[in-house]
Amino acid sequence: MSSFLHVILFLVCIIGSTVYSVDRGNFKTCEQSNFCKRCRSMNKNQKTAFELVPDSVLLTDKYFEALISNTNYDDVSLRMRLDGLKDSTLRLRINKDGNQMYNRFQPVHALVSEPITESMIMARNASTVELELSKIIKVYITIAPFKLDVYVNEELTIGVNHDNLMQFEHYRPKPESIADNEIGSWEEYFKEHQDSKPRGPSAVSMDFKLYSSTSLYGLPEHADSLALKGTTGNDPYRFYNLDVFEYELYNGMGLYGAVPFLMGHGKKNSVGVFWLNAAETWVDIAGVKGNTEHTSVVESIVNLVSGSSTEKDIPRAHFISECGIIDFFIMLGPKPLDVTRQYSSLTGTTPLPPLFSLAYHQCRWNYNDQKDVHDVETNFDVNDIPMDVMWLDIEYTDSKKYFTWDPVKFSEPLEMVNNLTSRGRKLVTIIDPHIKRDSNYFLHNDAINNDLYVKNKDGDVYEGWCWPGSSSYLDFMNPKVQDYYASRYSIDNFVGPTEDIFIWNDMNEPSVFNGPEVTMPKDCIHHGGYEHRDIHNIYGLLQVMSTYEGLLKRSNGKKRPFILTRSHFAGTQRFAAVWTGDNMADWSHLKISLPMCLSLAISGISFCGADVGGFFNNPDKELLIRWYQTGAFLPFFRSHAHIDTKRREPWLFDEQTTFLIRDAIRTRYTLLPLWYSLFKNHEVTGAPVIRPLFFEFPHEEQLNNIDNEFMVGDILLVCPVLDQNVQELTCYFPGHEEIWYDRDTYQTIKTNGLMKIQAPINKVPVYQRGGTIVPTKQRVRRSSVLMKDDPYTLIVAIDLKAIAKGSLYIDDEESFEYRDGHFIYVEYEYINNQLISKCLHCKDFSSKSWVEKVMIVGIPNVFTKASIQVNGGSLSELSVLYNTHNQVLTVRKPAVGIAQNWTITLL
């Protein structure tokens, strides 16, 4: 069959009236990936080929360096460098010493800056080198065989190459005869596709043994449980960014993103490993308890109590990459939040998003025309449902040519945008990396004339197929392409829009419908002489970096960009939000959205969500309601649907369904002050905005496998309904001395462990942690910008000691002026029957907002009035109302400015 017919059949599967689930046969297994099969089959008991060269050892004031010999090749030596970094972090790099046939790629784009080194102390003997960092960390390097032992406070925490699985294949000419174990190393076939592999085998691998851990996490993006499963007898977890529609659940096949970050957690401490490599990578996991299906709360505890022989095993990970160098970081915690902070100091945090991006987004492939857009957003107002952002998929363009508009359906884009912004709303448009090969298309002509495209193995412009048909792909490795692409977002070049249009970068794995595994051939050539195999997993990151730069320049650096990307890598969080891709309208896909986003959050990417309602197929009313109720508590909150699905805007259902969807969305808007404050804290500290329960309660082993509940910050416990026909569910309430308050009724829960919760269709089980103060806005309007000056209600939930603390962050919600000190930061504390508000930063920014209500939850009925003192002035009396049913004392109308210092005293 011709390649053209293959393309036609593929397109029929994608856009025809019938949508087919993923064909696993289109994607490789480890057995079909030569380098994975080769490195995985290494006998861990074989004599290692790698030894430290004793005479080469050198310690400078910044790093330790030595040569490593490959005893199988006398003429090959490697140079190893070990850096001690600030904040209990190590970095080890191994590359070939001296000249190489080809440069090995290092994806430094993932790093926010060059890490800061700290000095180490060295001691050595005939067999070992000992390095000491910051007194509590010691690294023992065994000379032969080469391996590392890392101790923290005299306890072995992690071992490197303990299973002798290190590999570093050096570039070399193709031999006349190829050994059996290297068949496929210079040429490989998958289905009808040939990978020419002109540079031969170049794989690197390393094994890690996490001695202090009992469970492993991270390695997103995979549609799998939060706690990683052992891969013995199955494929390893795969990192190879791919366009996988209707992806299967609970396996390790590669999806849209690759974040090679691993976290190990045990009762005493947590550690992390960041494998900095952008090539196809597989990760074997061993030594963890088997977990072949989604783990519920009850199953997690049963497994813990029953125990098994595998619990005594030491968790292990074996990273295998097709090419590149060995470059990894070890983060030594000791707590989960410490590990994520240490990782975030390397790859960066999410800059504070514009507030509108944390509100509700409405999307569909596709809204038909400008009238359709206007009708939809108007109906949100008619039905009293807030909404901040309308989205346009690929059909808004002129024949799938990006940076253009359909001349009939979207003939007046500026008018459309102005209609949205007049109601406080924004527009997001999709811009994909494939470029239509059309001589009447300015971008294609620019790319041809200025040599901006990726080349094929023969040096000609690479041609593949995607939505426009015949397409070529911009080479974002080229600085000239980066500058050109950024310039396309200027208002002069992207004709029609304003600064209120934001961008969705999709299909950027890159997706190539007729390519091997629906992506670009590995032997394509990028700027710098690198093959696509070298840089594949950062192609999407490179695109969003250019997009981000373009949006920055569009506003002269004043306004914060908002970008959504499908393909992602470590460091993507500095530029874009992500979502879980082409999911299905199925309960199992609602359920998997939690561990997928939690895995990303602990791996640095907090700004995550899933298509509410499912992208493919049509959800019934119950599933849609429950998905809105869950999605309202994930950081990115967007409804999206396939072009062949029925319209599902919230008002198209019966009265109850519309009411409950409206209620879920309005709940999100009341909590926007909390979300905004948490994202600001994330930018500063790296703390995940959403997090697994074990992050906050690391000593409770029962929590290690729970992934159907999560925390919003350290404040809200969310236990959503994820199964059909559920009116009651079992939630786990963590903490031995914690008290939790139902956010709907304010009833108290003092249980530590399992508890049955009533969850009728109108109930979202969410609980505020005792000891916290949540700022809310109760006057929900059509969009977040219209709520900017509205008053606040403070929800004060006291703990068992009658104490509570909280904070509030406010700025202009859209610019970067907050980085110059233009913001308000307020801390609240309730203690000794007083609520104290201190504005710790109030300079250079003002707000018209004020406090209209304070609700103190969990307080006994002993107070009948209250007084307020503002800025040390005289006392004023306030009225109070006490609800004996739920023990809530409401202080009405303090009427004090949000940035003023004040104290409310209960009397």
β-bridge mates for residue 515, sequence order: none
Q: Known catalytic residue: 506? A: yes
**Alpha-carbon distance 574 to 545, whole Å?**
9
- Minimal CA–CA distance to 182: which of 2, 12, 38? 38
**Alpha-carbon distance 866 to 853, whole Å?**
13
> Given its phi and psi angles, is residue 184 left (phi above 0), alpha (psi -120 to 50 degrees) or beta?
left
**Alpha-carbon distance 702 to 680, whole Å?**
31
- Minimal CA–CA distance to 186: which of 204, 210, 202? 202
Please report, as a single letter, which amino acid is at residue 652: L
Cα dist. 152→146, 209, 329, 634, 721 in Å? 20, 15, 16, 35, 41
Q: Which one is catalytic: 582, 611, 707, 799?
A: 582
- Minimal CA–CA distance to 903: which of 839, 860, 843? 839
* Cα Rg of the chain, angstroms: 28
Specify the pairing of strand 188-190 against strand 193-195. antiparallel
- Minimal CA–CA distance to 401: which of 350, 348, 466, 355? 466
**Alpha-carbon distance 840 to 854, whole Å?**
20
Ramachandran angles phi, psi of 486, nearest 5°: -60, -40
SS3 of 150-172 = EEECCEEEEEECCCCCCEECCCC
Q: What per-residue string of b and e applies to 300-339 under the rule 16 or more CB within 10 Å gives b?
A: bbebbeeeeeeeeebbbbbbbbbbbbbbbbbbbbbebbbb
3-state DSSP assignment of residue 413: helix
What's the first-to-final CA gap in the chain, in angstroms? 85
277 in Cβ contact with 321 (< 8 Å):
yes
Q: What per-residue string of b and e applies to 373-390 under the rule 16 or more CB within 10 Å gives b?
A: bbebbeebeeeebbbbbb
**Alpha-carbon distance 465 to 562, whole Å?**
28
**Alpha-carbon distance 820 to 147, whole Å?**
47
User: Who contacts 860 (Cβ-Cβ below 8 Å, separation ≥6)?
Assistant: 887
**Alpha-carbon distance 891 to 893, whole Å?**
7
Cα dist. 131→54, 60, 122, 863 in Å? 15, 12, 5, 61
User: Who contacts 341 (Cβ-Cβ below 8 Å, separation ≥6)?
Assistant: 87, 685, 686, 687
Q: Which one is catalytic: 195, 475, 506, 534?
A: 506
787 in Cβ contact with 672 (< 8 Å):
yes
Tokens of 193: 């596709």
- Minimal CA–CA distance to 505: which of 569, 546, 565? 565
**Alpha-carbon distance 339 to 330, whole Å?**
9
649 in Cβ contact with 628 (< 8 Å):
no
Residue with tokens 């102005």: 418
SS3 of 34-52 = HHHHHHHCCCCCCCCCEEE
What single-letter DSSP state applies at residue 862? -
Q: Known catalytic residue: 844? A: no
Element (DSSP H or E) covering residue 123: strand 121-124
CA 95 vs. chain centroid, Å, equals 30
Question: Which residues carry out catalysis?
Answer: 506, 582
